[in-house]
Amino acid sequence: MSTDATHNSSSTAGEIEKAFDPKLLVFCCNWCSYAGADLAGVSRLQMPPNFRVIRVMCSARVDPEFVLRAFERGADGVLVAGCHPADCHYIGGNYRTRRRIALLKMLIQQFGFDPDRLKLEWVSAGEGEKFQKTIVDFTNTVKELGPSPYRGGV
Ligand code: FES
């Protein structure tokens, strides 16, 4: 009897762990990454359905406040996707983004978040497979990190 109870409690913990489905927010720039995401979709590449995309004109449009607010509201991970270096349609937007994300990673650490919960990736319009792989890898990374410390709101 006690063995069953022990078994049941450990399997319940395992089920909760397995059941953790991270909520990811993905900012895609209009000119490259959004088209890459679209290509992944129309190519029917398999991706976990746990992410929501917000299209912005350029990755540099992603204000640090957007990222902090996403975490505050329970996102387990935030991905910012933009054009490859030198391909930004606003000349140097993605260079600004790269610096901003590096600073934001340090900032979110101060709030108790693992910096790996924030990711920057370059995805061009023709890289549907890269978009898919990025989503799959990021989902796995965040799954390993577990639920956000702010999950459920503050
Ligand atoms: S337009 Fe894509 S990163 Fe600037």
How confident is the prediction along the chain (154 residues), in pLDDT tens digits per residue? 333 444 444 445 445 455 799 999 999 999 999 999 999 999 999 999 999 999 999 999 999 999 999 999 999 999 999 999 999 999 999 999 999 999 999 999 999 999 999 999 999 999 999 999 999 999 999 999 999 998 765 4
> For ligand 1, is residue 29 a contact (CB within 6 Å)?
yes
Quote the ligand 1 centre to 123 CA distance (angstroms).
Answer: 10
Q: 79 burial class (0-12, 13-18, 19+ CB within 10 angstroms)? A: buried
pLDDT the model gives residue 50: 95
Q: Is residue 80 part of a domain?
A: yes
Q: Is residue 136 part of a domain?
A: yes
Quote the ligand 1 centre to 95 CA distance (angstroms).
Answer: 9
SS3 content of the chain, % helix, strand, coil (to 5): 50, 15, 35
pLDDT the model gives residue 19: 78
- Rounded Cα distance between 124 and 29, Å, is 10
pLDDT the model gives residue 7: 42
Q: Could you tell me which of 27, 29, 44, 38 has the C-alpha nearest to residue 127?
A: 38
Quick one: which atom of ligand 1 is closest to the CA of 93? 4
H/E segment holding residue 43: none
Q: Could you tell me which of 141, 81, 80 has the C-alpha nearest to residue 113?
A: 141
DSSP string, 112-124: T--GGGEEEEE--
Q: Is residue 114 part of a domain?
A: yes
For tokens 């930004």, what's the residue?
88
Q: Is residue 115 part of a domain?
A: yes
Q: Model pTM greater than 0.85?
A: yes
Q: What is the CATH number of the domain that holds 97?
A: 3.40.50.960
